Chains A and B, each alone.
Chain A
Amino acid sequence: MRRTVWFALALAACAQQQEGVRKSPGAGTAAAVTDDAGTNASQSEPRKPGARETTAAPDAGAPVESAKAPAAEISTLPSGVTLVALPANQNAIVNVQLQFRTGAIDDPPGKAGLTYLTARVMAEGGTQALSAKQLLEALFPLAAELDVRVDKELTTFLARVHKDNLSKFLPIVGDVVLHPRWDPQEFRRLRDVAVNDIEKRLRQGDDENLGKESLEELMFRQHPYGRLTLGHAGDLKSMSLQDLQQHAARVFTADRLTVGVSGGYPQSLGTDLARLLSALPPKSQAQPEVPEARPHGPRFLLVEKNADSTAISIGLPWNLSREDADWPAMSIARSAFGEHRQFNGRLMQRLRERRGLNYGDYAYIEYFRQEGGDAATAQTGRARHQQQFTIWIRPVRDENRLFAVRAALYELSRTLKEEPFSQEEVEQTKGFLDGYILLFDQTDARRLGYALDDHFYGMNGFLGAWRTSLRDVTADQVNAAWRKWIDPSKLEIVMAGRDMASVQKTVLAGDPTPIQYQRDATGKSPDKPASQLATDKEIEKSPLGAKNDADVQVISVDRMFE
């Protein structure tokens, strides 16, 4: 039977498991909500549109590999509702995604998490016709999925159902958005869940995400992206049901809505839905602008907490986007440096494979959140106008934590100077991406997700265009783009673990931090080549980049996301 991995640790995967914590039991998804981070967007005027191609040109002699990427049809109704429809097919599943241009950037001052909690109460808290309990009872036999994903600029209600059950499901999907129940009891329950998610999970029981979310708040301090999408605990506790209702009327409006449909749906589905949802309040107030985010320091944010190891995230904000002329070259460099959950990147090879420092080490050139627990691909619905470069160092034993930070910085610095990406690495990575990108949109749901992301960016057929654009990129172009965008001196570094005062001291003093290889029962550590041991010596004293006391801040975990 379909395995319900209710708890990821029931299995151990080789290259990686999921980030995040699975919340819903596998069997029978009911109104569940994804717990993630999230933005606004000025009505995203199409900026430099990407290539208009929707199907990648096949290699000479190779089969047509992305035959499944048909063009989306886009139309706008008089109500302001936009419809993005992929051509209907014979598949058994129907996907509906209701995407609003609203997210955490719409949270008012002192109300961090308002958009997230509002969306959750809408998705789970019942409709005027169905109580929360009745909603679960209606969805359960259909195995219909109704989730909501909130990001910084977008909130997407994700609905997926077998076509046998579409007619029963659709009215519910419409009601969730049009006629939420605003049940006080469900409001209290879901607010409790959200507060516990911050206070108990994120601060205490999920160190990898603690590191990532702390870095997000650090990189985007004083910026509309700068507050955790899930919310701040104190802000959530101060919210009332009326706050949610008023907020919903303000942001879940027709002019902010894009309706997406894909899969084996009846021809009229998209227009029917778009018409139905035209009953939303027509206009919102103007969305906040998303200003350019610039790195500002401090260099280190050290989050003090009781933990058995140290979580590390490194990054800087930037505005490299999918439409940028440098995107293809940067995507190759990123993959060669640290492909997510694969073994071919330099970081993975040198930190994990050669040194056994931790479980995995990767790099990203835009915000990334993994889709599900067993996939290596990114979630859609997280399109943003400001982006980021990040390095994720998975938890490291405390005695090696500063060595690991130094090793990542050292390797990054080498890509810019002594050891730029070689012709061979670039060609291998191009080959990798040429095949790998095909896996990104293998279901109708993911194809729809990419079509909606394209709509946000004013692009068309991004995946196919990206794949095609890689073919002519040279190693020189890869290295030139990488040098143009990457400035290691601007990186900000989060470490979450215990005894951060000693880390602060070491960082400020610039003391060496030699690697401690794991020993066996007899005290023997693995034999290593002399060249590697020599490199270890360089890494252990390489600069950490903190200029002064203000550049190394220590904060107690209890003060994060408060």
Chain B
Amino acid sequence: MLLPLLAALVAASAAPAPDSSKAFPFPVELHTLPNGLRVGFVPYDSPGLVAYYTLMRVGSRNEVEKGKSGFAHFFEHMMFRGTKKHSAEDYNKTVARLGLNTNASTYEDMTIYHLYGPAKALPTIIEYEADRFQNLSYDEPAFRTEAGAILGEYIKSASNPEQKMFETMSETAFTRHTYAHTVIGYLKDIENMPSGYQYSLQFFRRYYTPDNAVVFVVGDFDKAATLAQIEAAYGTWKGKLDAVRVPPEPKQRQSRRAQVDWDKPTLPRIWIAWHTPAASDIKRAAVQNLLNAYLYGPTSPLYQTLVLGKQTVDSMFPTYGDHRDPNLFGVLMRVKDPRNLHNVELAVLREIKALAGGTVDAKRLEAVRSNLRYSNIMSLDKADAVAESLALNTALTGDVDYLNKEFAAVAAVQPRDLQDFAKGYFMDLNRTTVTLVSASKKVGAR
């Protein structure tokens, strides 16, 4: 099995010095195969180790058909169920024998398959990965059994009130776009998954195509030999992306509220969010990343007043994350006493008003910028993390250089931009508020 290549592939190639002026300081060598598959190489100083990531630009965002919530994630599980050439058992045994850490994750906008381990495994990784992405083959009983594992995945977190809150925020804020459901999906759809065998075959044909994929190899490997092998193994991958159109979310014209009544003792929560632009609007994506911490981070006035000062709030999380389509910007807080929910909400709204109508604390803005920069550099401390960052950021717009462009936009943001953003998006009619209270301690919704 491809033994002659082995010696060449494990020959270490020197990693070039990182370019510290860039947010993603490692140069990416990008190749595009005739079938549209893109392959990105990053030499990284991890002697004898390599990270192999496959980004598929499909996620729960693509679950357009009714009753199919959670399917992209379910499908991710099916990708481990084998091919005619390599059964699931063969795949598992092979990745195990080679000492690889293997897994996959599904998000709203993407699914990422990853392997991380000894570089000497690279020829085998390429062979097995190229095979399953082209020739996945499983029978209906295997498909039905896997549905049980998905149900297990849902119930393992069912005791966490935030799973339900996330579901409620999604379905309240979104009326047409598929961000209206969570990645794991609705319980009723998960319970019905065993019936979806035919649909799964269609899903594979529509989305698992070379032009919808990017492979990243990061670590200690020989670029020329690896490219040659990838070209040979993946060159036969056929198909063109046949995505179902995701309905755009209409503009929200009135504020919305929902309340979750939780049947166990828990701290009340409030989540306030506004519809905001997608990652492709890179300037506004930069503003939102800054506003996350500027408004709700540990040095924000709101945090310092509510969490440290009055201590009415137990924890405060900014909830914005870059998305492919317009998503939400907001804050989720755990409040110690349900009687304070209303006051906490008013405090958040006052802060928004102050930003739109007042001044921006330029010094604090600089501190946030500095935090983003150093957090990012500090997160890229191993081959695996570098590959993950590349995959996550490439998924947003398809651009492997997205992170650098976004950080350049962050550097260019002026205090005025924060105010303009607040005026443009943080209006009452664009807002959705979800509260969660223990049923035993219910407070009247406004």
Contacts and interface: CB of A to CB of B under 8 A. Distances in A.
A436 B117 contact: yes
B97 interface: yes
A133 B304 contact: yes
A517 B162 CA distance: 28
Contact of B105 (A13, A141, A352, A528): A13
A207 B102 CA distance: 26
A166 to B, nearest CB: 12
Contact of B308 (A26, A189, A353): A189
A531 B161 CA distance: 41
Interface stretch (B140-148, B203-211, B348-356, B420-428): B140-148
A1 B372 contact: yes
Contacts of B147: 356, 518, 520
B298 A443 contact: no
Contacts of B105: 11-14, 374
B155 A395 contact: yes
Contacts of A484: none
Given A12-B105, A359-B149, A140 B159 contact: no
Contacts of B46: 442
B374 A526 contact: no
A354 B142 CA distance: 8
B155 A205 contact: no
B379 interface: yes
A436 B99 contact: yes
Contacts of A519: 194
Contacts of B383: 442
Contacts of B162: 7, 9
A542 interface: no
A435 to B, nearest CB: 2
A344 B383 CA distance: 24
A72 B116 CA distance: 26
A444 B97 CA distance: 27
B173 interface: no
Interface residues of B, number: 116
B267 A189 contact: no
Nearest to B311: A189
Contacts of B332: 6-7
A475 interface: no
A21 interface: yes
B76 A10 contact: no
Nearest to A306: B264
Contacts of A526: 140-141, 144-145, 194
A397 B318 contact: no
B367 A140 contact: yes
B106 A11 contact: yes
B47 A64 contact: yes
Interface in B381-395: 381-384, 388-389, 392-393
A341 to B, nearest CB: 7
A141 B120 CA distance: 41
A271 interface: no
Interface of A is mostly: loop
Contacts of B32: none
B92 interface: yes
B264 A11 contact: no
A14 B99 contact: no
B168 interface: no
B248 interface: no
Of listed A137, A160, A206, A431, residue having the most chain B CB within 10 A:
A431
Interface in A336-375: 339, 341-344, 349, 352-360, 374
Contact of B100 (A21, A65, A205, A435): A435
Contacts of B263: 306
Contact of A435 (B99, B296, B317): B99
B265 interface: yes
B98 interface: yes
B371 A28 contact: yes
B151 A518 contact: yes
Contacts of A443: 381-382
Interface in A1-57: 1-17, 21, 23, 25-30
A306 B264 CA distance: 7
Given A141-B370, A206-B159, A162 B101 contact: no
A431 B99 contact: yes
Contacts of B149: 352-353, 356, 358-359
Contacts of A64: 47-48
Nearest to A67: B47
A521 B393 CA distance: 38
A2 B379 contact: yes
Given A142-B374, A434-B99, A522-B195, A395 B152 contact: yes
A527 interface: yes
A141 B299 CA distance: 10
A263 B116 CA distance: 22
Most A Cβ at <10 Å: residue of B70, B296, B382: B382
B406 interface: yes
A428 B97 contact: yes
Q: Which of A141, A162, A342 has the most chain B CB within a 10 Å cutoff?
A: A141
A58 to B, nearest CB: 8
Contact of A21 (B160, B293, B296): B160
Most buried by B among A1, A93, A144, A520: A1
Nearest to B187: A308
A29 B158 contact: no
A477 interface: no
B37 interface: no
A448 interface: no
A60 interface: no
Interface string B322-356: 10000000001000100000000000000000000
Given A14-B76, A342-B101, A204 B374 contact: no
A403 to B, nearest CB: 12
Contacts of B381: 91, 93, 443-445
Given A14-B103, A28-B298, A438-B49, A192 B336 contact: yes
A431 B98 contact: yes
B255 interface: no
A173 B146 CA distance: 48
B21 interface: no
A430 to B, nearest CB: 9
B324 to A, nearest CB: 13
Contact of B375 (A27, A193, A353, A437): A27
Contacts of B135: none
Interface in A50-95: 62-68, 91-93
Interface centre among B155, B182, B195, B393 (most CB of A within 10 A): B155
Given A1-B406, A442-B383, A132 B308 contact: yes
A29 B366 contact: no
30 contacts: A2-B372, A4-B321, A8-B157, A9-B157, A9-B162, A9-B163, A9-B166, A12-B153, A17-B157, A25-B297, A28-B375, A62-B120, A63-B47, A63-B120, A65-B48, A66-B48, A140-B299, A140-B367, A192-B311, A204-B265, A308-B158, A356-B151, A397-B152, A431-B96, A435-B100, A437-B99, A521-B195, A525-B144, A526-B140, A526-B194
Given A132-B308, A376-B101, 16 more contacts: A1-B289, A2-B379, A7-B332, A9-B160, A9-B182, A25-B293, A143-B372, A204-B265, A307-B159, A309-B158, A352-B148, A359-B152, A394-B156, A436-B117, A442-B383, A527-B140
Interface of B: 10, 12, 20, 46-49, 70, 73, 76-77, 80, 88, 92-93, 95-108, 116-121, 140-141, 144-149, 151-153, 155-163, 166, 182-184, 191-195, 220, 263-267, 285, 289, 292-293, 296-299, 304, 307-308, 311, 314-319, 321-322, 332, 336, 366-368, 370-379, 381-384, 388-389, 392-393, 403, 406-407
Interface of A: 1-17, 21, 23, 25-30, 62-68, 91-93, 132-133, 136-137, 140-145, 160, 162, 164-165, 185-186, 188-189, 192-193, 196, 199-200, 203-208, 306-309, 339, 341-344, 349, 352-360, 374, 376, 394-397, 427-429, 431-439, 442-445, 517-522, 524-528
